[in-house]
Structure 1
Amino acid sequence: MRFTDGFWLMREGVRASYATEIRDLRVDDDRFTAYAAVKRVAARGDTLNTPLITVECFSPAAGVIGVRTTHHAGKARRGPDFALSADDATAPSGTTRRDGAVTELTSGPLTLRMDGDGPWGITFLDGDGKRLTRVDPKGTAFATTPDGVHHMIAQLALDVGENVYGLGERFTPYVKNGQTVDIWQADGGTSSELAYKNIPFYLSSRGYGVFVNHPGKVSFEVGSESVGQVQFSVEDQSIEYYVVAGPTPKDVLTRYTALTGRPALPPAWSFGLWLTTSFCTSYDEETVTSFVDGMAERGIPLSVFHFDCFWMREYQWSDFLWDPDVFPDPEGMLARLKERGLRVSMWINPYIAQKSALFAEGAEHGYLVRRANGDIWQWDLWQPGMALVDFTNPAARAWYDDKLRALLDQGVDCFKTDFGERIPTDVVWHDGSDPERMHNYYAQIYNRTVFELLERERGAGEAVLFARSATAGGQQFPVHWGGDCFASFTAMAESLRGGLSLSLSGFGFWSHDIGGFEGTPDPAVFKRWLAFGLLSSHSRLHGNVSYRVPWEFGEEAVDVARKFTLLKHRLMPYLYGVAAEAHRTGVPMMRPMLAEFPGDPASRTLDRQYMLGPDLLVAPVFTEDGEVEYYVPEGTWTSLLTGERVTGPAWRHETHGFDSLPLLVRDGAVLPWGADDQRPDGDWLDGLTLRVFGSGAGGTTVTVPDLTGDPAAVFRVVRDGAGVHVTAEGTDRAYRVSVEASGAAGEGTGAVAVA
């Protein structure tokens, strides 16, 4: 929200008070609190009839420093609050130091410095003493607007050339400078400033991140109200934010996800191709079987089949009962799909239509959200008389679980947790939560409820969602997809921007609707999107009013779908290792170029390409004629598809057929390459090939995971003038691996026995 009218004036009716000078300071070993007057105090009388701002500085974890500024501390805290994982309280993360008027709090490689002699301000320094950012004299404040609403305001300075990223899955420009961003869940598609996944966390190109610890609406002005500041404000009496140290973007994300939660590791089968019924199309078991048969006949391996909304009866979403007129034998149908090696996904949402039998049941037991007068909250948007499950009620969560458990007992494997954004604020929650804070946070308890059910019923390593809404911490319950996009090249590009922003907001896994959701894509759009989608962490064919089976778009689309599905399966020993890294460290699978090359200025604005793990550069093609422009960072790279070697740093202009795109392997990489191209979850050590890229001498350690993400084998690959040498450790299994060396001495292919 904006409060000023240019540099000199306030907007009409706005009254603001700014921290001006420290009047008292209380320092403990691991934290300190400053009491700041909002005007200069020249005499004792100046202390009367004027507020103080309380500024608390502390560290919840190494490399993270929190600042909490408060006007009136007596406001009741109704929740909800983000669940943060702090370090062991018996071992403080921060230490304080005083030197005259200067007070410092240091935590790992991060220091907060406050100087009591000069104008009000706070400086954040890295481990080398270099300034990362600062709070300027007007950077700590509160304000009231003409309608009497109280806002707490904080500002952190932007340096020259500094870029800001993240703030959730945002489809607006990738670099957020100059934008106003409201952290407020909305079902707005992918073509506006509205977002399904709003995360009050941003990452700076200067090597730090900022997390605003407030689950409700947070308004960011990113170099937009004051062009040299990132301003964030909340309608509250207190605001709390954390500066997260780097120095690299990966370091920032590792520390941030340690605080807010690391993503679970999705099962390996979920990385294969998903095919859905689409939304409003007509389908029954015969249709489903024809799709599955058609994929098999055309040699396109399928891993998951998804039933979208109309598996239930019209006007009765959600009652979790199959439409008997369309699916008279659901258990038999699911068994037949399982016999073909498929997993099954079902569409659900947290809404209960009035026509559903569950409406009366939920109303009777108090499981539905109510207004202050006791009425059940309802409207006709989406479903007639729609109500909302109150997941703050433990009994309601158990009731919802029971309905889903019946589907799991029938053979369902996972759920697409759709919606969760249109959450009312004129209601009363069972646990007394603040409705404004619950609006964004509802997505967290909704997805957590379903994910934890899957963990209990299927096992921790088997739980996976296809979720649309999320808030901070939602990365713990993967996978998330990009919502409703148009079937166009423009929407394809905006979807990638959203995914890159989400990746820099701490989310390890991300997907999108191949071909776009709204409308029917031109065959060129569909074929280009296939290559992009099958080089994403998760890959799903889905649409709205038309089917997304490849043969609907011509035989060439079938060939493209087959080629990139088989390629993804061959890459699975590499991809699942990257997935396990995301689970352990919080570093995402699909990485903006900034994440891998933070020291390269050209990487800081790239939003039409990405790294898939540390070694694969992917540049989707967004044109029908195949023209693509992309950037190659420093070094020698090899096309995985053609073997061509290119050298950077350089911009490349190329033309690709529909069965191709820029897919480059980093020099020095060793890709573990699976022999089985028919499934994503096979025995990767059976027939494994180690593909060595690069001509320089040196060694690379390659870990091939098992299906739990733990190491199955570790290989040490050494390149020297005599060729390539491989040793193995960490396994008592005897097997053979092949080595393919590209650009190395002794270039060629050979089999190496490894015991």
Structure 2
Amino acid sequence: MKLSDGYWRVRQGFKAAWARQTITVDPIDNGLRARAAANLAYGDRSATLGGPMFTVTLSTPAEGVIRVVEEHYRGVPDRGPHFQLNVDPDASFEVFHDDHGTGLRAGCLEAVVSNPGEVFSLDFRSGGVNLTGTSYKGLGVYRDEAADYATASPRAHLDFDEGCGVRHNYMREQLRLAPDEKVYGFGERFGHFVKNGQSVEMWNSDAGTSSDAVYKSIPFYWTSKGYGVFVNHPEDVSFEVGSETVGKIQFSTRGERLEYYVIAGPEPKDMLRRYTALTGRAPYLPAWSYGLWLTTSFLTDYDDATVAGFVDGMRERDIPLSVFHYDCYWLRPYHWCDFEWDGDMFHDPSGTIAEHHRKGLKVCVWINPYLSSVSPLYDEAVAGGYLLKLADGSAFATDFWQPGMGLIDFTNPDAREWYCSKLGKLIDMGVDCFKTDFGESIPTNVVYDNGADPVAMHNYYTYLYNETVYRYLEQRQGKGQAVLFARSATVGGQQFPVHWGGDCESTYPAMSESLRGGLSLMSSGFGYWAHDIGGFEGDPGPDLYKRWVQFGLLSTHSRLHGSKTVRVPWAFDEESCDVLRTFTKLKLSLLPYLARGSRQVSEDGIPLMRPMALEFPHDPAVRYLDRQYMLGDDLLVAPVFSPDGCVEYYVPEGEWTNYLTGERIVGPAWVTGTFDYMSLPLMVRPGAVIPVQEGRVDTEGDLLDGVTLKVFAPEALGEEWTSVELRRGFEQDAAVVEFRMRRIGNALQAQASDTGLAWSIMVGDKQAHACQGAAELTW
């Protein structure tokens, strides 16, 4: 939210006061507390009459993280909700003094407050480097003098200098940006990947992928200078990223209190480790979730015969399928979402699901948190008090998606239990997972069972919605087996994967928008991501469909989905079947490699699909790249975004190898190439060891049975043994086999910790099979 008018003036209709002079700085039990006056009061007793006064409290929830709480009026009631954070109450810290002031040290990160009597400042340092900070006219409180008294929000409080009425107050902070500093994150954002110069609003909405509105707002960012910032507010935080004030990143929210966490690096992966340790990490996912998903599409006509035709058509064309998804119209018209199959279209759901299972498929069905008033369940929900209410006690109702629909109140434990009981009937029927759609268009004029602030609940609603469904699946199926396909999210939502990118158009620009959104989400603590292969709105045609298939099968999760047109490949042309078959089998062959990367997601919070700036933070050429990405540590993917098949992409230092063609390119270099539908830039990092299982046609079984370790640019290996750990499965407790490799001249030596395992090593087209746990290959 812009609160100024140029550099000097305050925005018309607002009045402002800023923390100007440090008054006191004192140690407290859990950290450090400072007070700063809005005027020059130190040593002038007459200037101490009245305020405003700001209280700044520093503490630490963990090593390398400092929590900052900035308050104008203290003691204001807090109705919640609150993000669920993993805070260590015994985290160690140290209060110290130096020439710059008094500081709090939390491991490698320091925060220093200016001395009493000096101009107020708060600086963050790590490793002797000043990362960022705030000073006079940074921390401030703003009063909206144009606010309507009668409609003032529950967060509005008394006029801060005259006490003469109710106003909308905002707290604002500005942190310095260096001239060459780049900013990343903020959740799923479809615009430019580098956020400098943008205004970013934390407000979830159902708005597609072609605007600045998003489904997944995450008030967390990190920068190329080696730190991150998490603003701990579920409500509508507003960021100005080097926009309102060019050399600052500004964030503001309504009320009298602002809380944020500064997170040390120095590397981007270090920031994500610390951020996800605080807000939660994605769990392990079952192997089947990484296979190909096929849906009925949204507005298409389908029944038992249509579904059977889709499933059998994939089998007849030798295209491995892992999950079949029923979108909205498995439900009866006007009855969304009461969990009852449309009996006119689906005569024996239990039998059909059993047949899917017999064919090796998992089954997913579409749900949402809304309930049509036409359904008999609506009366049951009203009687139980399970729906969001208006101030007069009546149920909130709208005709937005269904007639007179209400919304489940997930702050009510009884409502959650009731909702899960309906899901339980589907699980009993054989349903394996749920697509938790919607959760963004949540009203702010409602009353929650737990009394939470409805404005703050707008974004937070999705957390409770997805948590409820995920935890119930986990309870029924066991840890490591629960899977969602969710659209909306907020902080902590990464604990309930998978998330997909929402409703994109069937165009090349929309395909690139989707990738930008995914890379921003992967920069914000989320480990897994999918998108609608072929695009959602419109007909992609054969060309775009085949290009999107390449991209989709080289994403962490892969789903064919559309709106009014289907996404089975034979609906386009026979070559589409060939492309889908080739890239589906390619992904299946890479499951051992993906399993290695999945461990990084759950153990370290490092995404499986990651922007180049995250993987190569010291290469200035990658800082703006948003049309290519790394899949795990070693595979660089540059999708084709034009019908001429031409791609311009960048490879960092070293000799990179195209996994599909064998072409070698020495970096750093910009490369331009033209690719057919069976190829694209899929480049392997120098010295990488890629475990593959050629010929795999499903997601079942041991991931190391008959595995081949493909070694690329082995010249990058040294004579010392290099250790590579591979997992036998995707489960958290999957057994690990250690492989050791070294190069002596043109000979590659390898050993495995499991001497009974059948495996081989491969360099180029030369392959050697293991004997008694060892192999040697000369190339």
TM range (shorter): over 0.9
Give the 3 Å change call, closer, same or farther, for CA 681–125 of structure 1 in structure 2: farther
Is the Cα contact below 8 Å between 1:94 and 1:106 reproduced in 2?
yes
Shift of 1:456: 0.5
Q: Give the 5 Å matches for 1:178-197.
A: 178-197=197-216
Residue in 1 that maps onto 2:759: 737
**What TM-score results when the alignment is normalised by the length of structure 2?**
0.94
User: Which letter does structure 2 place at the counterpart of 1:751?
Assistant: H
User: Which letter does structure 2 place at the counterpart of 1:61?
Assistant: A
Residue in 2 that maps onto 1:25: 25
- 1:422 aligned to 441, 448, 465, which one? 441
User: Which letter does structure 1 place at the counterpart of 2:266?
Assistant: P
Residue in 1 that maps onto 2:51: 50
Q: Distance in 2 between matches of 1:658 and 1:748?
A: 27
User: Which letter does structure 1 place at the counterpart of 2:66?
Assistant: I
Residue in 1 that maps onto 2:153: none
Residue in 1 that maps onto 2:159: none
Between 304-313 and 141-150, report the one with greater CA deviation: 141-150
- 1:702 aligned to 720, 724, 732, which one? 724
String of CA shifts for 1:262-285, please: whole Å, max 9, x gaps.
111111110000000001101111
- 2:385 aligned to 353, 366, 373, which one? 366
Shift of 1:679: 1.0
Between 418-427 and 4-13, report the one with greater CA deviation: 4-13
Residue in 2 that maps onto 1:291: 310
Alignment length, in residue pairs? 746
Q: Distance in 2 between matches of 1:157 and 1:206?
A: 11
Q: Distance in 1 between matches of 2:543 and 2:408?
A: 42
- 2:529 aligned to 492, 496, 510, which one? 510
- 2:586 aligned to 548, 567, 579, which one? 567
- 2:712 aligned to 686, 693, 698, which one? 693
Shift of 1:610: 0.1
User: Which letter does structure 1 place at the counterpart of 2:767?
Assistant: T
Instruction: Indicate the SS of the match to 1:242.
Output: strand
The runs of 5 or more residues in structure 2 that have no matched partner are 148-166, 774-779
Between 259-268 and 681-690, report the one with greater CA deviation: 681-690
Residue in 2 that maps onto 1:67: 68
Instruction: Indicate the SS of the match to 2:87.
Output: coil
Residue in 2 that maps onto 1:161: 180
Q: Distance in 2 between matches of 1:622 and 1:284?
A: 35
Instruction: Indicate the SS of the match to 2:716.
Output: coil
**Is residue 309 from structure 1 mapped to residue 333 from structure 2 by the alignment?**
no
- 2:770 aligned to 749, 752, 755, which one? 752
Shift of 1:753: 2.0
User: Which letter does structure 1 place at the counterpart of 2:370?
Assistant: Y
User: Which letter does structure 2 place at the counterpart of 1:16?
Assistant: A
String of CA shifts for 1:335-358, please: whole Å, max 9, x gaps.
111100000001000000111111
Is the Cα contact below 8 Å between 2:304 and 2:347 reproduced in 1?
no
Residue in 1 that maps onto 2:158: none
**Is residue 726 from structure 1 mapped to residue 750 from structure 2 by the alignment?**
yes
Q: Distance in 2 between matches of 1:702 and 1:570?
A: 18
Residue in 1 that maps onto 2:688: 669
Shift of 1:30: 5.0
**Is residue 435 from structure 1 mapped to residue 454 from structure 2 by the alignment?**
yes
**Is residue 177 from structure 1 mapped to residue 199 from structure 2 by the alignment?**
no
Residue in 1 that maps onto 2:376: 357
**What TM-score results when the alignment is normalised by the length of structure 1?**
0.97
Q: Distance in 2 between matches of 1:85 and 1:588?
A: 19
Q: Distance in 2 between matches of 1:161 and 1:303?
A: 46
Percent sequence identity is 52
Shift of 1:55: 0.3
Q: Distance in 1 between matches of 2:108 and 2:660?
A: 42
Q: Give the 5 Å matches for 1:538-687.
A: 538-687=557-706
Q: Distance in 1 between matches of 2:503 and 2:31?
A: 46
Q: Distance in 2 between matches of 1:320 and 1:701?
A: 50
**Is residue 239 from structure 1 mapped to residue 262 from structure 2 by the alignment?**
no
Is the Cα contact below 8 Å between 2:34 and 2:57 reproduced in 1?
yes
Residue in 2 that maps onto 1:81: 82
Q: Distance in 2 between matches of 1:581 and 1:229?
A: 33
Instruction: Indicate the SS of the match to 1:470.
Output: coil
Q: Distance in 2 between matches of 1:696 and 1:580?
A: 25
String of CA shifts for 1:541-568, please: whole Å, max 9, x gaps.
0000011001111011111100000000
String of CA shifts for 1:349-399, please: whole Å, max 9, x gaps.
000011111110000010000000111101111111110000000000000
Residue in 2 that maps onto 1:11: 11
Instruction: Indicate the SS of the match to 1:306.
Output: strand
Is the Cα contact below 8 Å between 2:196 and 2:242 reproduced in 1?
yes
Q: Distance in 1 between matches of 2:579 and 2:740?
A: 35
**Is residue 268 from structure 1 mapped to residue 278 from structure 2 by the alignment?**
no
Shift of 1:93: 2.9
Shift of 1:676: 4.2
Residue in 1 that maps onto 2:539: 520
Is the Cα contact below 8 Å between 1:703 and 1:711 reproduced in 2?
no
Q: Distance in 2 between matches of 1:676 and 1:574?
A: 15
User: Which letter does structure 1 place at the counterpart of 2:59?
Assistant: F
The runs of 5 or more residues in structure 1 that have no matched partner are none
Shift of 1:680: 2.4
String of CA shifts for 1:28-86, please: whole Å, max 9, x gaps.
47510001001111521111122210000111111101111001112111111011101
User: Which letter does structure 2 place at the counterpart of 1:680?
Assistant: T
Q: Distance in 2 between matches of 1:728 and 1:750?
A: 14
Q: Distance in 1 between matches of 2:313 and 2:99?
A: 77
Is the Cα contact below 8 Å between 2:22 and 2:118 reproduced in 1?
no
Q: Give the 5 Å matches for 1:122-521.
A: 122-127=122-127, 129-146=128-145, 147=147, 148-521=167-540
Shift of 1:219: 0.4
Is the Cα contact below 8 Å between 1:672 and 1:702 reproduced in 2?
no
Residue in 2 that maps onto 1:115: 114
Q: Distance in 2 between matches of 1:658 and 1:479?
A: 28
String of CA shifts for 1:619-660, please: whole Å, max 9, x gaps.
000011100101111111011001111111110000000111
- 1:715 aligned to 739, 746, 752, which one? 739
Q: Distance in 1 between matches of 2:501 and 2:725?
A: 31
String of CA shifts for 1:120-146, please: whole Å, max 9, x gaps.
11111112x111111132111111112
Q: Distance in 2 between matches of 1:601 and 1:209?
A: 19
